[in-house]
Every structure is written in structure tokens, then in C-alpha cells.
Structure 1
């Protein structure tokens, strides 16, 4: 994981898929039908550490406990009594040092806690998932998975545990393990199937044309793939996995345990007025303007839901550079040489108050390799996007709504305008009454925004919530699972190690 830009948001199986629950769970909608999804207010808070604490949280309905990754001091999982959400209490910690790994993510299901750990001191080694009993904290099983498991989740039916194994290289790129996905079959004594992307290497040309991104120094196609986050459909048959640095999403068939497709996500045109962004942190003002640059969506977190039998996945388009040791694929626009035919106004554009401060992807845009850039590509989409789950086609993009609304809300950080703006990090979909509700965590704006996405093609903004510093984990607990029988939103912020709990008002 990379501080403030990691995966994020390992949630319990239900959190990213509760919007498309099966018919047997329709009582949930009835229980929350009188809650107002645009009226969330803070009801509780707890600080468990400093920077690096409160990264990701998962809630166990059986024990009414919250389990939170805490890497601020010791390598541990903090256990919080959530039986009274207005007064959360730290009651225990699970020491992870005996497992020789650093925790990245947690998930729960029916009294089981799954913890994803990357190998230490060399994270290029095989990672592991350790299963604990949520009541006694005793170990149920220890399972080897791929390199650097960055996110872990249970399938809605509890039959599978999945990890996104990022497989990052070491500092000098001499060791670059394959990025992979591990599928753990719980009923079959936690047997593991780990899948990599070797079989897709022959499709590189077509994928690249459609907006897929491959690095120039990776050991191989499969090694360059970096899975980040997983969401699993309500019927536990399909998963979608973000490949953040590759600007793509992979579709996984859980029945056959195969990767069925890679969806390249293409580019976002910031020269269009509807996508206007602020690109300078040195102009002393927040101004959203069109610029001659394209953004790669490069999503971190992902969620899914279905409407009228159609599957959709939703991405938080954070963006992420590759920076390992002396290698970096990012540079200020002012430091690049622009092609004079493509950019006759280069001198003006490269001023600090214009585009000069904008971070640009250095491995794209110089098609003829003459050292002069004919096109400019930036990190992230500064948005959330709804995609068709079967075709990968774009259904809706929030354009510049997140940045503009956070600016209006008073939380936009102009110091991040040159990088990724408000930096959408996490997304969670929930069913409240007869509505599908989306929660979007903005890491650099310290805000969660709420939208009604019942109509995937026309989401409606509902509310903004102020969070603690650098929200990383975002968790929705439906009323049927909540200790108070009221829906809850829990935000874990790694900047100051604070967990905040929000509850909606009744209509």
C-alpha cells in the first residue's frame, strides 16, 4: 500500500453489494424505508491512533464488533465494541506480528474475520490471509495467496474469500511479481486458486488501443498488472476487480474460477467544459476550466449493483503513479518538452498559474519517441463512474461534480489541484427503502458524498458529510445488520486514526 493512495476500503461482503440483495433479503428494504438517505449526521467518534491508523474497517454482526486495520504503531487489528454506536469503545487488539506480515485489509462474515497481510520485509513475497474467530480472536486458518494482497472480501454467500494481489515491484524493479487474484474456497478447507493475467498478453495491442495502460519497465505483461480492489455480485457468481495502474477492470467468473474479460476504461477529455478542472496549486484560487489534457480513470475502489436484471459496477477514479525507488512515471508539465505543432502556446500553458504544476504521465503522449509530447495524460478521473457490468461500457460519469461540490462545501484542497483534486478513493452502494444509494469517499477533501443512483444513467446528488483526516475506509451497515436497527455509515480515516459513525434521520 501507498500512504493516502492505497486501496482502500475493504468492506464486508454485503457493503458493496447490498444494493442488489436477493429476494430473501427484501426485509432490509422494509426496515429502512422510513430513513432519509440525504440526512446522515454524526452520532459517534473514536480515535484509535495517529497517521496510518483506522485505514480499513469491517463490521461483524454476530459479535457487534468493528475490526480496524491499525498500522500507526504496532502491526495490529483494533477491536471496537459497536453495540452502542454513539459510544464506540476500543476493547482489544489482535497482534499480527507473529504472522510475519503487514495488514492491508479486513473483511467479515458470520463470525469470521479475514485479514490480508503482505509479506515482510520484502512485500514481493507471497502474502497470506489469516482467518480469526471474531469472538475469541483465535486463528481458524492461515492461507497463502499471491504477492501483496491489498484487499480482501467475502462473497455474499460466504462461500468464497477473494483477494486482489497487487504484486508491486521492489525499489529498483529487479523483482516484479505477477499481479494476481486469489479465490479461496471456504467449504473446501480454504483451498486456493490464484489467477494471473498471462493469458491476456496476446491482447495487448487491442487493449492499449482501448485505453489500457502497460508500464515500460515491467518484467512482463502479467507482472505489470496490479489488481487493487474487488467487488462481488449478489449471487456470488461474478466479481469485478480494479487494475488501477493499468486503467482497467477485470471480470472474474467465480463458478469456473477464471478471469473472463479485461475492460480498458479509456480516457476522460478535460478539454470539455463539463469536465473542467482546477490544475494549479499555485494560482491562489480555485477555478474550474477546460484544459488540453486527458485523464486516465485509474480507479481504486469498486462496488456493484443491479437494476432490472442489468449488472453495473461503480468506480472511484482516484489515479495512481508508479513510483519505486529512482523510477517514477510522473513529472510536472513545466518540466516536459511539448511538441510545438500540437502546443503552439506551450510557454503560456507551462506557467505555474496555468498547467505548469499539473502532474503528467511521462510514459504516454510521445508517440514518436522524439522527446516532445504531442498529447498530455493526467492521473485519475476526479469522479465516480457507473459502467455496464457485462460490456464494460460507460453509463454515467460524474464529470467534475465531486470537485465542484467539495469546493462549495468548503472542503476542497487547492493544494491538490495539481495532482488528483479531491481524490475519490472509495465507493459503497446500499439499498435504502426502494432506492439505491451511493457513498463516495474523497480522501483529499475529507468528505463523503451521497447520491441516489436508482437510475444508473442519471444519479442525483443528496448530501455531503464532513469526515476526519484522509478517509480511507467506507462502510455501510444496513438496518437489518445494525446494532440499533438503524442504518449506519462508518468512515475510517488514516490521516488521524479516527473512526466516525453517521446515522440518517427518519422521514
Structure 2
């Protein structure tokens, strides 16, 4: 574990419009060159689980406000070629974590493994849907919801075939040994207002064998790709981003049923769309939101999305009148109705540019690329923090006026921020004794960064 010097000279900081800021505290170095992707923190113990998809393992870290992040265990779970860990989560109270593992065969079901945190012992394995990508425990730990993305494609004659996306609900009320699994099939999204439709003429870049190919994308269950899971504070609802479909699925958790799907519509705001070595937001971006990470505000009223984007075409190849992919925004919706309240417009890229970390090479394709997001209350404010994967940074956002979310700060996630060599991916928040901590996995550097929100 290596301490980060807390000198601002080592981090790109944008001018602040508030009396508090995110400050770097520490850096955990895994010893691997890449792969530290998903993080989850257990508030009661301040233990953090970090998945490493490249190595097939998880690290258990101890968050100590005085000492930073220190590894207390490492568990190797998946042998090379036997699948991939795609997500990990700590149980809210018990000495247990869960990981989802996708099968090496892209059309076969994956599994969720429940394991003891102390020694990694397997407690239960549950077969779920195809190509699971994200999982989360409910606030009480009674349920786990999994987004089965079904992302993999195989050749089928002259065309391609993919597994259906689905959502799994695992009921743990009878204990982990008696875990019950329900699978929720998703409907065709044709006609869902604000969701991706066939007339948008989308393509997806997917690895098929050893080739990255572009495949056509539609609205049928085969083309629905659940991405990320978050819960309402009362645990009654789970929200699942259908990223490529530009929609959100709302799950009745206790009934293990789909309540509704609502589309997310498009953004229009100023943007830099040229890779020319400078930040010049003089063009208008018209794009589908296509969020990855989701969060719910602490009072349960608002759903917040990190609008990363995933589908093609790129801006230069977008046909006139059609939206490109990725809003480059954080958006706020009414959590019950799904009504859009507001978004950050060009602020994420604007503030990244002021901080000196804007990735101009990505201007033609999704900009700073907001990936993950958390929401919490602190110092009398409703806030969100989002990871900006391509800018190697975190963004602090004021949500007190949900119709006008305001980006207060962009801070680099470590030395070399803006180079594209850090890639903050997963993000977790925890409060302890009135102190507010953010933990993010830096996928491309193999490290985990710890920040504190301070006044």
C-alpha cells in the first residue's frame, strides 16, 4: 500500500464553486498491471472488496482513515480460461461477499458465488442468466439482484447470435444455503418511448472469436443488455440500466417481477467533437444517454445515471437527424415516475478541461465518459460523485436542485490523470463518524484510489 502525497500539484483540480471538495487520501497498489475494476464497501467494518477480472481474484482491503487502504486477504477464485469475475459486492452485515462469474462460453449461463470474506470459502453457488455483468445486495442483505447482460455474440451462418439479456433475483431470506433464484425475462422494447428503436440504426462493437466486429442492434430480448444494478434505500425496488437500449428496468424485488421499463431519451448540449489537441465545445451534441452506472438519492426520490454510451455510430459517422451514442452527462430522474428532471449538459467535459484532464482524443467518441456514480447526503447537501473513465477523474456534483445539477469539481484520480492510463471504473461511498469516503478501482493501472469529501 502506497500513500498518495496530498499535494494538489500531483492532482488536477478544477476551481471550486463550493466550500468542500474531494481530496485524495491514499492509493492501494495491487501489484498487477491492470484489472482492478469493481469495488464494494461494507459500512459496518470498513472492509472493501476489489475484483480483478484479469487475474480472476478479489482483494479484501481494510479502510483505515489514518492509514489508507491495506490488504488483509486475497482470494483466487477463477482459473485462467474458466470464466471471468465481472462484479463483486460485500454483504451489508455478514462476513460474506458475492461475485458474479460469466462462463467462457458466451451463450452459457453464469453463476453467483457466495463466499466467506475471511478465508474465501465457497458457501453457495447459484446458476443465473447469460453473461452476468453486475450484482448488488439489497440494503438489508436479504436479496441479490444481478444484471445478466447476455453481451457475447457468436457467428450463426452469415449472421450473428447472442444470448438473451435477463435479470436474476436471489432470495436470501432463508439463509445463503437455501438461496432461491428467480429469473426475469425482458420484453421487446419496440415502442418504448425514449428507448433505442430500430430506426436509430445502431451497431455494437463486439469481440466474436478473435475479431472485433460491428453487429446490428435491435429491440428484441436477444438485444437487451442489462448493465448495472442499484437499489432504492428501502430495498423494495431495484433499478437496472439497459445501457445499449437507453432504458431502465424497474424491479419489484420481493415479487421478483418487472414493474416497468422506461426510456431515457436524448441530450442536446454543447460539446467538443473534434480530436484537434484543444478543448473547443462549439458543436452541438445530439445523443442517446446510454447510462452505465446508476444511483438513488439517500431520500429515495431521485434516480441518477452516468451516461457513458456504448453503441455506434461515432459522431462523424452518424447519419443526419440520428443521435450518436453517449450523453456525456449525469442525469436526474424522478425515481417513481421515471420523468427526466435535468442533466449536467456540457459541465463534465467543461470542468475536466479546466482541470487539465480532458481527453481530447475522445472528443469524437463519448468525451470524458462518465462510468459509475454514487449519491449521498453530506454537509447538508444532496450530492453525487461520478467516475470519468477516459479523463481519469472523479466529478463532484450538487443535486440540491435536481432540475439543474451542478458540477462543483473535477479531480484527477492519481498521478498521470488525463493520460487514459488510470481508468476509474467502479465507485463506492461510505460514511464513518461524520467523514465521507469515496473508493474507486483504477482498471488500467491495477490500483485503488481513496478520496475524502472535506469542508
TM range (shorter): 0.7 to 0.9
TM-score, length-normalised on structure 2?
0.84
Report whether the alignment pairs 1:68 with 2:50: yes
Is the aligned partner of 1:405 residue 2:405?
no
- Residue 63 of structure 1: how far off its partner (Å): 4.9
Q: Which moved more, 1:93-102 or 1:434-443?
A: 93-102
- Relative CO higher for 1 or 2, CA cutoff 8 Å, sep ≥ 6? 1
What is the correspondence of 1:163-174 to structure 2 with a 5 Å cutoff? 163-172=146-155, 174=160
Q: How far 1:79 sits from its partner (Å)? A: 2.2
User: Secondary structure of 1:163's partner?
Assistant: strand
Give the match for residue 492 of structure 1. Answer: 441
Q: Does 1:243 align with 2:225?
A: no
* CA distance in structure 1 between the aligned counterparts of 2:150 and 2:402, rounded to whole angstroms: 33
> How far did 1:306 drift?
5.8
The structure richer in helix per residue is 1
Alignment of 1:45 onto 2:27: yes
Conservation of the 8 A alpha-carbon contact between 1:211 and 1:267: no
1:176 equivalent to 2:162? Answer yes
Is 1:78 matched with 2:59? Answer: yes
Q: Distance in 2 between matches of 1:77 and 1:444?
A: 24
Give the aligned partner of residue 95 of structure 1: 76
Q: 2:13 is matched with which residue?
A: none
Q: Distance in 2 between matches of 1:137 and 1:406?
A: 40
Deviation at 1:284, TM superposition (A): 3.0
C-alpha distance 186-298 of structure 1, shift in aligned 2 (>3 A):
same
* 8 A contact 1:360–1:377 mirrored in 2: no
Shift of 1:465: 1.9
Matched residue SS, 1:146: strand
Q: Residue 106 and residue 219 in structure 1: after superposition, are their counterparts in 2 closer, same or farther (change >3 A)?
A: same
- Select 2:197's aligned residue among 202, 210, 213: 213
Change beyond 3 A, Cα 1:52–1:165: farther
Cα deviations by residue, 1:287-313 (Å, 9 ceiling, x for unpaired): 11133x620100000001265xx7221
Deviation for aligned residue 1:181: 0.6
What does residue 436 of structure 1 align with? 382
Instruction: Determine the C-alpha separation between the residues in 2 that align with 1:314 and 1:219.
Output: 25
What TM-score comes out, normalization by structure 1 length? 0.75
- Write the distance in 2 (CA, Å) between the matches of 1:87 and 1:239: 32
CA shift, 1:437, in A, is: 1.4
Instruction: Give the secondary-structure state (helix, strand or coil) at the position aligned to 1:55.
Output: strand
Residue aligned with 2:37, SS: coil
- How far does residue 460 in structure 1 lie from its aligned partner after superposition? 3.5
Q: Is this contact kept in 2: 1:45–1:86, CA < 8 A?
A: no
Aligned runs of 1:47-446 on 2, under 5 Å?
47-61=29-43, 63-72=45-54, 74-83=55-64, 86-97=67-78, 100-109=82-91, 110=93, 111-120=95-104, 122-172=105-155, 174-188=160-174, 189-197=178-186, 200-201=187-188, 204=190, 206-207=191-192, 210-213=194-197, 217=216, 221-269=220-268, 275-281=269-275, 283-291=276-284, 294-305=286-297, 311-321=301-311, 329-330=312-313, 358-360=315-317, 373-446=319-392
* Secondary structure in 2 matching 1:276: strand
- For residues 257-305 of structure 1, what are the alpha-carbon distances to aligned partners after superposition, in whole Å with 9 as ceiling and x for unaligned? 1111111111223xxxxx1111111x332211133x6201000000012
How far apart in 1 are the matches of 2:100 and 2:66?
Answer: 26
Give, in angstroms, the shift of residue 359 of structure 1. 4.8
- RMSD over aligned Cα atoms: 2.3
The structure with the larger Rg is 1
- List gaps (5 residues or longer) in structure 2: 1-17, 203-214, 415-421
Deviation at 1:462, TM superposition (A): 2.9
The equivalent of 1:470 in structure 2 is 423
| Contact 1:213/1:245, CA 8 A, preserved across alignment | no
Deviation per CA, 1:306-357, whole angstroms, max 9, x where unpaired? 65xx722110000002xxxxxxx535xxxxxxxxxxxxxxxxxxxxxxxxxx
SS in 1 for 2:283: coil
Structure 2 counterpart SS, 1:97: coil
TM-aligned CA deviation for residue 70 of structure 1: 1.2
Residue 136 of structure 1 and its aligned partner are, at CA, apart by 2.7
Pick closer, same or farther for the CA change 1:219–1:456 going to 2, 3 Å.
closer
